Amino acid sequence: MAWNKACNILGTVKISTGLYLIPVITIFFAAIFLNEKITLMGAIGSALTIIGLFVSSKK
């Protein structure tokens, strides 16, 4: 229900790009709440994901 409402308000393309942020958010919150260490691969993957989202959002 929330997904459909968000798609109607913001559009499907903008909402679906947010799906790529789920692993980045998971790494961040795991480091805060579970005291997990952020590995080099996790940091590189997160950075590449964020860079990719910025590149794909520019027109």
57 falls within a domain: no
Q: Provide the pLDDT for residue 6.
A: 81
Structural domain boundaries enclosing 24: 15-50
With respect to residue 22, please indicate whether it lies within any of the assigned structural domains.
yes
Q: Torsions phi, psi of 36, nearest 5?
A: -75, 150
* Residue 59 placed within a domain: no
pLDDT at 42: 95
Asked if the structure places residue 3 within a domain, the reply is no
Number of domain units in the chain? 1
Closest CA to 48 of 40, 29, 14: 40
Q: Look at residue 40 and tell me if it is in a domain.
A: yes
Q: Which pLDDT score is estimated for 36?
A: 95
Q: Can you give the pLDDT at residue 57? A: 79
Show pLDDT as tens, one digit a residue, over the chain (59 residues): 787 888 888 887 778 788 888 999 999 999 999 999 999 999 999 999 999 988 887 76
> Which secondary structure element, helix H or strand E, spans residue 42, and what is its range?
helix 40-57
Is residue 30 in a domain? Answer: yes
pTM: 0.74
Helix 40-57 to helix 22-33 angle, to the nearest 10 degrees? 140
